[in-house]
Structure 1
Amino acid sequence: MTLELQNITKRVGAITHIKETSLRLEPGHFNVLLGETGAGKTSLIKLMAGLDRVSSGKILMNGEDVTRQSPQKRNIALVHQFFMNYPHWTVYDNIASPLRVAGMAKSEIQGRVEEAADILQLRPMLKRYPHELSGGQQQRTALARAIAKESKAVFLDEPLANLDYKLREELREQLPELFAGRGAVVVYATSEPEEALLLGGWTALMHDGRVTQFGPTAEIYRAPKNLLSAQVFSNPPINRAEITKAADRAYLDETVNWPLTGDAAALPDGTYQVAIRPDYVTPTPPDVDTVKLAGTVQVTELSGSKSSIQFLMGPDHWVALAYGIHPRAAGEEHVFYMDPSKCYYFAPDGQRVA
């Protein structure tokens, strides 16, 4: 099964919620929609699921035009971040509900429900009601319903957002296995870059109703095509600043500069944007060649295993991220260390050039 979007848009009055988008989504791996809240992830899922109608363009499932089909005819499953279980039905009945609507035989319904319940460790809870379940068990019930339905496409709209950390970690590890080998296109929306990396598969980066880049998740992370993609796929936010390239060196200001190599050294002299992930800006010198940056500490956050230090460097707000405890007081001047080999370089229009 394939799901293909051909130049689809969504407009409401004068406002465009989804700008022209074309994607081809395949089964066999997770397809992740990654973007901040308001980027258009839920709007795009609603269009793919048939809950909203496109303003222009086509949606194809296995080559068939389903643009005007209802969600029921498309045979899709949708799991929200909110549990969405029927409160007066048991876990068994909640999982079985779409199968009964489809008119499936009672014996087949029982077999599918029990199989899904076993996969999600819900067998002992089949006679319970949603109010008797924990948040994680309720979300497992919603996932079991999607598995039992054996849909052609499964849409997971930030399904772990309302769970505690331990449950998120547990379910995140299980999700790729739950849908493996079922032949369904799986689309997973998240606002967390780390979650996209953990799930793997392919990722569509979204910003302001537009897909900025689509491809294998690890590849996009390593090689963003533009500054916008680099910003979407970074948490904490990627550090950036304007530089001047002259001869074979990059100049951040009169005192901070570093040598360029490869494609960066071959660029025409001029003004560019440099960007680097916070992981490669540290409060102590690592075992690599670095560039010293002087900054004024704004906020330090100590998580136990990592330290995140926000600092001002001229007009730019940067973040340093390092393992261990590195207390830095707000308002103090400190030296930070940047690994220039991890820098990305972008033209004034935002396109990556090195």
Structure 2
Amino acid sequence: MTLELHGITKHVAGQVHIKPTTLTLRTGHFNVLLGQTGAGKTSLIKMMAGLDPIAAGQVIMDGEDVTRLSTQKRNISLVHQFFVNYPHMTVFDNIASPLKVAGMAKSEIQGRVEEAADILQLRPMLHRRPHELSGGQQQRTALARAIAKESRAVFLDEPLANLDYKLREELREQLPELFAGRGAVVVYATSEPEEALLLGGETGLMEDGSVVQFGPTADIYRAPATLSAARVFSDPPINVAEVTKTGNEMQMGDAVRWSVPTAQAGLADGTYALAVRPHHVTPRPSATGTVRLNGEVLVTELSGSESSAHFRLNDTAWVSLSRGVHPFEIGQQHPFYLDPAGCFYFGPDGTLVAQGGSV
């Protein structure tokens, strides 16, 4: 089973909302759409599902052109971030609802519902109604409905966004197993880069209604093709600064200089955009050859075992992320250390031209 998009676009009030998009999505892994709110993830999913009209292009499912088919005729399932269940129905009937609409025999419905309920640990709740369930159980019910239907494509639109942290972690770990071996194309939309990395598979990075890069998730993380892609795939935000290479020296601003690492030795002299993720900017030297930066601390945060500091460097806001608790003082100058091995370099057109050895 494959789901192919051939130059599909969407217009809203005469304006292009989704730019021409061509992708091939396959079974056997998660296909992740990663982008900030408003990037176009939900719109693209609705177009694939037949819920939003397509201005141009084609949607092909397993060789069949379904561009003009209704959602019901595409045999797909859609799970939203909101708990969409029928409040007057039991959990059993919620899971069984698309099977009943399809006219399936009662015995087969019984078997499919019970199988899905067992997978999602819902068997004891089958006679309850949605208002008697926790948020996690309600979302499990929606997932069970998608599994029982045995759709050709399953669209998960930020399905864990409204769950608490613990439930998100549990379901996130289970999701790849839930859909493994079922033969469906699974498309998962998220705004969290960490979630994309945990799910693996292939990822399409979305920005401003366009897929800016698509491919194996780990490969895109290690080598974003453009500065735009690097920005999408970074949380906290990636740090960016203009640098100039002259001979064997790299310079940032007026005071920061370092010897060009071997990985960038072949770069032509000139000006580049340096981008470095926050975990390669630390409050203490993390490796030989780190470059000292001095910045004014603006905001500090402690999350679990990690500390982050937002600081001002050459009139630009930067972020440092490191393990442990560090004695930052708001408004004070503090040393930070840049690891050149973690840097990307982008040319004037925004494309990747070089990178360090441990990004």
Q: Per the shorter chain, which TM-score range?
A: over 0.9
Q: Which one is further off, 128-137 or 283-292? A: 283-292
CA contact under 8 A between 1:249 and 1:259: conserved in structure 2? yes
CA contact under 8 A between 2:253 and 2:314: conserved in structure 1? no
Corresponding position of 2:329: 329
Corresponding position of 1:105: 105
CA contact under 8 A between 2:287 and 2:339: conserved in structure 1? no
Matches of 2:27 and 2:304, distance apart in 1 = 39
Q: 1:276-321 CA distances to partner (integer Å, 9 max, x unpaired)?
A: 0000000111133200001000001012311000000012110000
TM-score (norm 2): 0.97
CA contact under 8 A between 1:78 and 1:156: conserved in structure 2? yes
Instruction: Using the TM superposition, give the Cα deviation of residue 270 of structure 1 relative to its aligned residue in structure 2, in angstroms.
Output: 1.3
TM-score (norm 1): 0.99
Q: Secondary structure at the match of 1:230?
A: helix
CA contact under 8 A between 2:290 and 2:340: conserved in structure 1? yes
CA contact under 8 A between 1:249 and 1:265: conserved in structure 2? no
Corresponding position of 2:300: 300
Corresponding position of 1:144: 144
1:284 pairs with 2:266: no
Q: Secondary structure at the match of 1:353?
A: strand
Q: Secondary structure at the match of 2:231?
A: helix
Query: Which amino acid letter does the alignment assign opposite residue 235 of structure 1?
Result: D
Q: Secondary structure at the match of 2:144?
A: helix
Instruction: Using the TM superposition, give the Cα deviation of residue 192 of structure 1 relative to its aligned residue in structure 2, in angstroms.
Output: 0.2
Matches of 2:279 and 2:174, distance apart in 1 = 27
Corresponding position of 1:46: 46
CA contact under 8 A between 2:9 and 2:55: conserved in structure 1? yes
Corresponding position of 2:162: 162
Corresponding position of 2:225: 225
Instruction: Using the TM superposition, give the Cα deviation of residue 263 of structure 1 relative to its aligned residue in structure 2, in angstroms.
Output: 5.4
Matches of 2:23 and 2:315, distance apart in 1 = 38
| 262 and 4 in structure 1: CA distance in 2 versus 1, 3 angstrom threshold | farther
Q: Secondary structure at the match of 1:18?
A: strand
Query: Which amino acid letter does the alignment assign opposite residue 271 of structure 1?
Result: T
CA contact under 8 A between 1:203 and 1:214: conserved in structure 2? yes
Query: Which amino acid letter does the alignment assign opposite residue 6 of structure 1?
Result: H
Q: 1:6-36 CA distances to partner (integer Å, 9 max, x unpaired)?
A: 0110012222110011000000000000000
Q: Secondary structure at the match of 1:67?
A: coil
Q: 1:189-222 CA distances to partner (integer Å, 9 max, x unpaired)?
A: 0000000000011000000000010000001000
Corresponding position of 1:353: 353
- The sequence identity of aligned pairs, in percent, is 70
Matches of 1:253 and 1:43, distance apart in 2 = 41
Number of aligned residues: 354
CA contact under 8 A between 2:7 and 2:58: conserved in structure 1? yes
Corresponding position of 1:196: 196
Q: Which one is further off, 246-255 or 225-234? A: 246-255
Corresponding position of 1:214: 214
Corresponding position of 1:237: 237
CA contact under 8 A between 2:261 and 2:340: conserved in structure 1? no
Corresponding position of 1:23: 23
Q: 1:148-185 CA distances to partner (integer Å, 9 max, x unpaired)?
A: 00000000000000000000000000000000000000
Query: Which amino acid letter does the alignment assign opposite residue 326 of structure 2?
Result: H
Q: Secondary structure at the match of 2:36?
A: coil
Matches of 2:74 and 2:147, distance apart in 1 = 16
Instruction: Using the TM superposition, give the Cα deviation of residue 262 of structure 1 relative to its aligned residue in structure 2, in angstroms.
Output: 4.4
Query: Which amino acid letter does the alignment assign opposite residue 89 of structure 2?
Result: W
CA contact under 8 A between 1:77 and 1:151: conserved in structure 2? yes
Q: Which one is further off, 9-18 or 37-46? A: 9-18
Q: 1:227-278 CA distances to partner (integer Å, 9 max, x unpaired)?
A: 0000000000000100111112210023211222345222221111000000
Q: Secondary structure at the match of 1:321?
A: strand
CA contact under 8 A between 1:300 and 1:327: conserved in structure 2? no
Instruction: Using the TM superposition, give the Cα deviation of residue 348 of structure 1 relative to its aligned residue in structure 2, in angstroms.
Output: 1.7
CA RMSD of aligned residues (A): 0.9
Q: Secondary structure at the match of 2:279?
A: helix
Q: Secondary structure at the match of 1:139?
A: helix
